[in-house]
Structure 1
């Protein structure tokens, strides 16, 4: 009896293994461009559990994870993916997959994470999610999805994060999402969603992040939040006093709506509030004597009488170039470009994805991004909802060239004496400009190899977090 069970189990496992292998080959067929050749390992000379991006269970050697994140793959998802019956995690973010999300994904009853962020998926979101009772994370942000948010998503009882931001979704927010008692994060920002936010959403006790920016939504009853963004919508009437009940609220943005009346004084009781967004200039905010912003040094915007700092996000471009003979030319002035919207930065950096994080420090984090249709590569320095956008330095810092990591391709032996001398001259020119050519002399105060960036072997002095303006009285 035991022998018969063992033989039956072994045969079933072998059949499952072969099914998984064939499904993976079908997935490969649907990929039309593989610029980094990451799919080359997907062949019969290597066990499929060792293929790039594939993880298998130890016991059954069946596929449990498919991770092809950030490989710039072009193509679509094969509907055969629904036959990977032990699949738990799908990570396809930061590629160029297009077409519809296959309905067959709804067959994956063990699926827990589904991340399709920053692709070009179109069509409507599938509706057959009833079998996916284990789903905890659904992340479809930054795609081209259309249609309405499926009511069926509200029956995924274990869902923790639902991010549908930056798509072309229409309709309203389904009442069924109020059933998601485990939900901690919900984003529908930058879509075309309209109507009233369901009161049921406000009763989600674990919901700590809720963003609906840039839609056509109305209605507000949302306690228990840490981040609350409803900027660029069609909310009207007075600002609800009930918002003061969100005792853990840290980020609060209601800019560009139609609120009127007094700003509730009990908002001042929110002791954890770090950022209130840009102070509007319409309605009650037109009269600087009608509101008080005392003690909120981090605010910006507002009417001139408030004497707050402006809130523009500016693109700056270093002005030093080298002429044809390889020497540094004279410095041009900083080129101030048009303001860049938060939505553009949101999309350019993959919603400030950790995979695009270049570095971080006490003055904020720096992300790599691809801006606008011209696909300009930029570096975005981000700190507490303020940003500066710089030209991206393709070769990284001088520190990495002088002291390369073991697996780095930038070896110091490839860094010639002439190149080193040119970089020293470039840095000297930069310091000369800061000290002698600026209207007010600037002292950098933190010059070191990690703050010297290189683009096409032209050095740029960066990171002015500790810089000081030298006044006339010193």
Structure 2
């Protein structure tokens, strides 16, 4: 018989000993029977215990050998981990050396039994490097926390070998690559925290193998695709966070299987669809975040009954609609309720039972009654008085109307942010609002608030940002408010009716970074206390007020300001030379004042200056050549000053479209596109100057001699001239028209009565009247001289009509430039009265009107307008640009013939060297929104092409019945695009419905199925649409001219005429 091992014994007098072991031996080699026969019981017992001891010794030897081997593996793996670090700023791995056992190393925990590594926790030490794949050799590892460091590269797949791993977190590092699928092999995992990294790809389907998973957070990564369906089967999940990824698809009903779920966030992804009802039945939920997706639908009425434990409800920035469920009153534990940027409607319900509510954000919805007189929209404020923890309230951009209730002052004193902007709040600001003394942010801008700013606002000693712009607030800025708001950083009171001076107490606001007082009626000098605020870094806007005096030298204190705007005031004096020390300036607007002196060369030291506007002042001298060295300057406007000399050639001055110098006749040089005269050489200038000086001396002596001889005659002539100047108009162009007095026009219009008022415009009113001198009905346009540009408009219109006559231009009878019964300037223009009103009235009728403008008449009107434009552009001595062509400026006489009117913006196109130059720059020229070509908004170059754009839009409006300012046109979508999309195959879907009505039945073909247009008529409509599109293209160069338009219109007219025969 053979066995694998056997022991051979040698018996001694005192017992026995094992002396050899053979791998294979024959049992017959042992004289076992003889041995047993000679051994007594005591010896047998000794033999038994000796064998047991040797077996235990052998077993312990094997275990110690295995443990020693494991220690070596762990020790080596940890050292490899340390080697993979490129930076250890806090030296936390210094203890990782051979002088101490690795179980004593910082961040390492070992088991007591085997001394094997079970935990590694190195959180927040700013370690840099990659995760060593040798970590996968730590086979006893249960916890691996490496959060808040700078680990990069991919997660090594070797981590999938850690079958004992229960928790892993690499949050807030820069790890990348695809989601570490190998982790799904670690079936004991209960926690995965990978948020705040750069992982890409999809969440693996194998995630279902982690049946014990309780915490899964992959927020703030770049994951894509759908959420794997298998994840909804992980019934142990309590926290699920996908925030800020690129996940798509919807949330299925299977989410209802996650009964233990307490926190769920899918915010800031690309998820869509309706949220399943099973989600709202997860009663354990405390945090539910779906913001920043494309979910739609309404909230179930009982949503807050089925979610009794909800604390955070964040549904902002989706497409949810319907009312806010009244069951919200049951959500007694809710702390944050944010549904902003959706389409919720109705009233805000009673929130009085929400004792823990701290954040209420319902802005950017359609809540409220949409009435400025409603008293119900603010009922919820009364219930909020019970919410003692309230910290943030955002109700801006809704339809909340009516006055603010006085009880608003009883809201929680913890309230820090209150946003009510962009509603229809009316009435005065309640004084009680000042009781909210802990406010740091208040926004009530863009409402209908009236009266004064309450003195109680002086209690806002913690206020940092306050926005009251775009209201109708009046009175002065209370000095006490600015004196006490020492923490204020941003203040916006623009676009109100405020008067008086800026209080000097504004100097107490030492932390102000942005101030906007523009578009008010403030006056006086700009306080030095304001200019001395070195904290101003974002904006100081005082434009469109009535400030006067000089710009103080304290402006040098604004060394951190980026945008400084004091345009459209009454400031005088020079521009301080030290303004060049405001080194952070990017935008400087000084236009529309009475500033004089030279342009400071120090402006060239503003290396970050992007835009500089000095237009419409009295500046003289030359443009500093140093300005051309500013490489970032992108816009320079010095038009309408008294500048002279050579224009720089480099920098911004290389691009004529970024420079405006109109109205400075003594400038020369520059790039050719500026069309300035050539500068004379310096030696020629000196010679001319010398000759000029001699001539001046001779002329002076001659004049003195003549004055001495004819002193009396000169005085008489002077008196005669003064009398003539009083009697004549300031504008010589109106002398050619028959004279009419103010009294005659006053009598003709029954004292400019409301009964005779037939229209209003941007700068005046139009009355119907009857002149006694001619006994005919006329239209009297009275200009409102308080409006900016009215005087120029009067001169332009009289100029335009001085030498032009055409059947399709409205006939001017006379102009009146006089004074009214109060002694104020009075200017009016008398036109031929058009009995059928304007084209605007025919295209866009009221419901009571039953007039129809047939296609033939519309075509006749288009032909008439085109004829008028052709005359203005090509047949006048100098081309005239109308600048404001629109339906309300096209009048219709008895026989419906169109007459183009309102030349208040018209400009003569200049002639240079005998050649027609079809463009002239004129800053401030504006037409009407929707009809003005896009190029006018950029460099304001007036051109005949601009009129063609207006003609194209007018034609498209006549054919579609839609105004270019229709509310459907926004975000870059306009009338041109609307027609272009339908052209040419679907034009019948956009054509004005009245053209297909019974009044135009002669244009239709009746069949058994339907009534369709005659083919020729449809082709004519298509041709008209094509003309409109060709005229209204964005590029001025690509627009067709009026000659081409007239040719096309003649063809269309002939085709329609043949169809009618």
Give TM-score scaled by structure 1 length: 0.64
Answer yes or no: is 1:15 the counterpart of 2:95: no
Cross-structure match for 2:330: 269
- Change over 3 Å in CA distance of 1:316–1:157 after alignment to 2: farther
**Deviation, structure 1 residue 278:** 5.1
Distance 1:231 1:48, change over 3 A: same
Indicate which of 315, 319, 322 corresponds to 1:254.
315
User: What is the match of residue 412 of structure 1?
Assistant: none
What's 1:300 paired with? 394
- Could you list the runs of 5+ residues in structure 2 that have no partner in the other structure? 1-54, 346-364, 371-376, 405-416, 422-439, 442-462, 466-485, 489-506, 516-1061
Cα 1:319–1:283 shift into 2, 3 Å: closer
* Structure 2 residue 382 is matched with structure 1 residue 288: no
Which residue of structure 2 aligns with residue 220 of structure 1? 275
SS at 2:151 equivalent: strand
CA distance in 1, matches of 2:335, 2:170: 31
CA displacement at 1:305 relative to structure 2? 2.0
- Deviating beyond 6 angstroms after TM superposition, the runs of 4 or more aligned structure 1 residues are 311-320
Cα distance in 2 for residues equivalent to 1:78 and 1:334: 51
**Deviation per residue, 1:115-170 (Å, 9 max, x gap):** 11110011111112343122111111111111111222232111111111111111
CA RMSD of aligned residues (A): 3.0
Per-residue CA deviation, residues 76-115 of structure 1 (Å, 9 max, x unaligned), is 1011111100001111001000111111111111111111
* Displacement after TM superposition at 1:264 (Å): 2.8
SS of equivalent to 1:17: helix
Per the alignment, in what secondary structure is the counterpart of residue 323 of structure 2?
coil
2:136 match: secondary structure = helix
Aligned residue number for residue 309 of structure 1: 418
Q: CA deviation at 1:46?
A: 1.7
Structure 1, residues 431-463: CA drift from partner, whole Å, max 9, x if none? xxxxxxxxxxxxxxxxxxxxxxxxxxxxxxxxx
Name the residue aligned to 2:299. 239
Which of these residues, 71, 85, 107, is aligned with residue 31 of structure 1? 85
Report if the CA contact (8 A) 2:317-2:339 is conserved. Answer: no
Report the Cα distance in structure 2 between the residues aligned to 1:66 and 1:260, rounded to whole angstroms: 49
The answer to which structure has the higher helix fraction is 2
For 1:193, what is the secondary structure of its paired residue? strand
Which residue of structure 2 lines up, in the alignment, with residue 64 of structure 1?
A: 118
Give the corresponding residue for 1:90.
Answer: 144
* Residue 138 (structure 1) aligned with residue 138 (structure 2): no
Task: Please say if residues 369 and 399 of structure 2, whose CA atoms lie closer than 8 Å, have aligned partners that are also in contact.
Answer: no
Deviation at 1:53, TM superposition (A): 1.0
For 1:37 and 1:183, locate their aligned partners in 2 and report how far apart those are by CA, in whole Å. 37
CA positional deviation for 1:336 = 6.9
Secondary structure of 1:171's counterpart equals strand
The 1:193/1:311 distance shift into structure 2, 3 A limit, reads farther
Q: What does the per-residue CA deviation read over 1:243-281, in whole Å, with 9 as the maximum and x for residues that have no partner?
A: 331221111011110012233333433232222115446
Alpha-carbon separation, structure 2, partners of 1:10 and 1:270? 61
Q: Pick the aligned partner of 1:332 from 484, 501, 510.
A: 510
Structure with the greater alpha carbon radius of gyration: 2
**Alpha-carbon offset, residue 4 of structure 1:** 2.5
| Partner SS, residue 141 of structure 2 | coil
Specify which structure has the bigger relative contact order, considering alpha-carbon pairs within 8 angstroms and separated by 6 or more residues: 1
Q: 1:159 maps to which residue?
A: 213
Tell me the TM-score normalized by structure 2: 0.29
Corresponding residue pairs, total: 329
In the alignment, the residues of structure 1 paired with residue 140 and residue 124 of structure 2 have an alpha-carbon distance, to the nearest angstrom, of: 23
Distance 1:301 1:107 in 2: 53
**2-structure distance, mates of 1:57, 1:189:** 36
Tell me the SS of whatever aligns to 1:260.
Answer: strand
